[in-house]
Amino acid sequence: MTYELYYWPGIQGRGEFVRLALEEGGADYVDKAREPEAEGGGVAALQGILSGEEVERPPFAPPFLKAGRRVIGQTANILLFLGGRLGLAPRDESGKLWTHQLQLTIADFVDEIHDTHHPIAGSLYYEEQQPEAKRRAEAFLEERVPKFLGYFESVLGRNPARRGGLVGPKLTYADLSMAQVIAGLGYAFPRRAGAAVKAHPRLQALHERVFARPRIARYVASDRRLPFNDHGVFRHYDELDR
Amino acid sequence: MTYELYYWPGIQGRGEFVRLALEEGGADYVDKAREPEAEGGGVAALQGILSGEEVERPPFAPPFLKAGRRVIGQTANILLFLGGRLGLAPRDESGKLWTHQLQLTIADFVDEIHDTHHPIAGSLYYEEQQPEAKRRAEAFLEERVPKFLGYFESVLGRNPARRGGLVGPKLTYADLSMAQVIAGLGYAFPRRAGAAVKAHPRLQALHERVFARPRIARYVASDRRLPFNDHGVFRHYDELDR
């Protein structure tokens, strides 16, 4: 089956967590909104599903995945679905739930990262909420980054499988997402989050290991990987990183 | 099996979504942190698991559920687990994922509701971020409430099962959570969200139907249901509701 991923075409954003799973899982997929509109792609294709009256189970927002006739929304839910199919999650129920629990905690972390540059409203420009962003970013870097990184570092430390990732002996989609968050933090807050990551050697090693995996390395070198930029979840504003 | 729920004892908060499922499902459960400390309860019991070095798969934050030897965290993940066991989700994979997708969208809504009174940092008092809260609440009520309510109203309208809730012909945990959000919005923003809810008759009817269910009505009348108060996710600050 060819999966169809629908996400805003100009950014990594939350779609990137799905892309990484599809790439590592060797899935056959199309990044639909990056295809030409003339060939049924583009933002028009995405909007068609988002606002299409005939979709019985419509997503609230991108990313969403078409798998045959199904439309599946919510990043973590897409990964829950793909995890079993692409061999990126344990097969037993406990392992599945634990992987998903970690993914949801990563999603919470990502939401907080997003809100450092948009503390007031997603509909306003960063420049319209800059003083608030400065205050929120300060609290985030001071209190939340150490709390989240400390948590995930301790999860890595408690995994009884040596050389494992967050869950058991095998790589999961949560590892891919965690590595992406570390990469994103390094882009957005090279000074302050960069220093924080260095204090968490297991996370740093996980990040390096994930991006050294052959399929991920090939993906990152390809033009399928969009660069980080200041329209996505991870944005670099120098004044927030002081 | 007796489930053990762990959540902050003084508030409904995110724990309430789990409580409603346990109650409607007729589950045998203990609200552990509300039990006396001398009997192994209280916040001490909660903190013991949160910071206990011997928990192999520790939760990041409450609520979490102990089911036998398993510790399951993240509200939506707990509901994913309980849904099948308590008959509060469809049995087929598509239905399970769709219910969970709705729950995750409800969770996003709840996060945004929370951030109306805490736009800068959870560690600061409301009074320390009041001007920012006013700005965020304004954008939330103006743009986000209609968007979320409109979405869920349309999901109710598209359910081919007449008299159904959000998913198919039977009640699910997502219906319980949705009804709780409507109740919470009515507490926090009686004027502005109250008016918005009135414009969405299917959601209003869902809210009434859920709270009229015998088990939910008995629960709400009992002292197991904490009242809304201004320490939880839903808080009433009159100045934010103008």
Could you give the CA distance from residue B60 to residue A136 in angstroms, rounded to a whole number? 21
Nearest by CB to A119, which of B58, B73, B120?
Answer: B120
Chain A residues whose CB is inside 8 A of the B158 CB are: 55-58
Quick one: closest CA in B to A74, which residue?
B101
Give the pLDDT confidence score for residue A54 in this predicted structure.
Answer: 86
Q: How confident is the model at residue A181 (pLDDT cuts 50, 70, 90)?
A: very high
Q: Do B155 and A74 touch (CB under 8 A)?
A: no
Q: Do B132 and A139 touch (CB under 8 A)?
A: no
Could you give the CA distance from residue A37 to residue A204 in angstroms, rounded to a whole number? 40
Per run of 10 residues, the mean pLDDT along chain B (length 242 residues) is 96 98 98 96 96 92 97 98 98 97 98 97 96 97 98 96 91 98 98 96 98 98 97 96 94
Q: Give residue limits of the domains in chain B.
A: 3-85, 93-213
Q: Do B151 and A94 touch (CB under 8 A)?
A: no
Question: In this structure, how many other beta carbons lie within 10 angstroms of the beta carbon of residue B55?
Answer: 15
**Residue A166: both structure tokens together:** 């967050």
Q: Express each pLDDT in B65-87 by its tens digit.
A: 999 999 999 999 999 999 999 99
Q: Which residues pair with A30 in a beta bridge?
A: A4
Give the number of A-B residue pairs with CB atoms closer than 8 Å: 103
Chain B residues whose CB is inside 8 A of the A233 CB are: none
Chain A residues whose CB is inside 8 A of the B97 CB are: 72, 77, 80-81
Q: How confident is the model at residue A53 (pLDDT cuts 50, 70, 90)?
A: confident
Could you give the CA distance from residue A232 to residue B74 in angstroms, rounded to a whole number? 25
Q: Express each pLDDT in A202-215 by its tens digit.
A: 999 999 999 999 99
Q: How confident is the model at residue A147 (pLDDT cuts 50, 70, 90)?
A: very high
The 10 Å CB-count burial string (b at 16+, else e) for B185-210 is bbbbbeebbeebbeebebbeebbeeb
Q: How confident is the model at residue A52 (pLDDT cuts 50, 70, 90)?
A: confident
Q: Which residues pair with A29 in a beta bridge?
A: A3
Mean pLDDT of A219-233: 97
Mean pLDDT of A12-40: 97
Nearest by CB to B120, which of A104, A111, A139?
Answer: A139
Quickly name the fold that domain B3-85 has: Glutaredoxin (3.40.30)
Domains A3-85 and A93-226 share a fold: no
Q: How confident is the model at residue A163 (pLDDT cuts 50, 70, 90)?
A: confident
What is the architecture of the domain spanning A93-226? Up-down Bundle (1.20)
Between the CA atoms of B67, B72, B73 and B76, what dihedral angle is there, to the nearest 10 degrees?
-90
Q: Express each pLDDT in A70-83 by its tens digit.
A: 999 999 999 999 99
Chain B residues with CB-CB distance to A under 8 A?
A: 55-60, 70, 72-74, 76-77, 80-81, 94, 97-98, 100-101, 104-105, 108, 111, 115, 119-121, 123-124, 129, 132, 135-136, 139-140, 143, 148, 151, 154-155, 158, 160
Give the pLDDT confidence score for residue A162 in this predicted structure.
Answer: 81
**Residue A139: both structure tokens together:** 């609290």
Going A23 to A181 to B18 to B162, the CA torsion angle's sign is negative
Question: In this structure, how many other beta carbons lie within 10 angstroms of the beta carbon of residue B169?
Answer: 12
Give the pLDDT confidence score for residue B53 in this predicted structure.
Answer: 85
Residues 6+ apart with CB under 8 A from A49: A6, A55, A58, A59, A64, A66, A71
CA distance B119 to chain A (A): 6
Counting every residue written for chain A, the total comes to 242
**Residue A224: both structure tokens together:** 């399928």
Q: Express each pLDDT in A93-113 by its tens digit.
A: 999 999 999 999 999 999 999
Residues 6+ apart with CB under 8 A from B191: B241, B242
CA distance B231 to chain A (A): 20
State how far the alpha carbon of B85 is from the alpha carbons of A79, B88, B117, in Å.
22, 8, 35
Chain B residues whose CB is inside 8 A of the A73 CB are: 101, 105
State how far the alpha carbon of A182 is from the alpha carbons of A95, A187, B227, in Å.
23, 9, 40
Q: What is the DSSP letter of A143?
A: I
CA distance A221 to chain B (A): 32
Quick one: closest CA in B to A79, which residue?
B97
Residue A7's φ and ψ, nearest 5 degrees, are -155, 160
Question: Does the pTM of the predicted model rise above 0.90?
Answer: yes
Give the pLDDT confidence score for residue B54 in this predicted structure.
Answer: 86
Chain B residues whose CB is inside 8 A of the A148 CB are: 60
Terminal CA-CA length for chain A: 47
Nearest by CB to A101, which of B55, B77, B115?
Answer: B77
Residue B70's φ and ψ, nearest 5 degrees, are -85, 145
Could you give the CA distance from residue B76 to residue B62 in angstroms, rounded to a whole number? 12
Q: Do B160 and A124 touch (CB under 8 A)?
A: no
What is the architecture of the domain spanning B93-213? Up-down Bundle (1.20)
Q: Do B74 and A119 touch (CB under 8 A)?
A: no
Among candidate residues B187, B193, B208, B102, the one with its CA nearest the CA of residue B146: B193
Could you give the CA distance from residue B89 to residue B97 in angstroms, rounded to a whole number? 9
Quick one: closest CA in A to B149, which residue?
A60
Give the pLDDT confidence score for residue B163 in this predicted structure.
Answer: 81
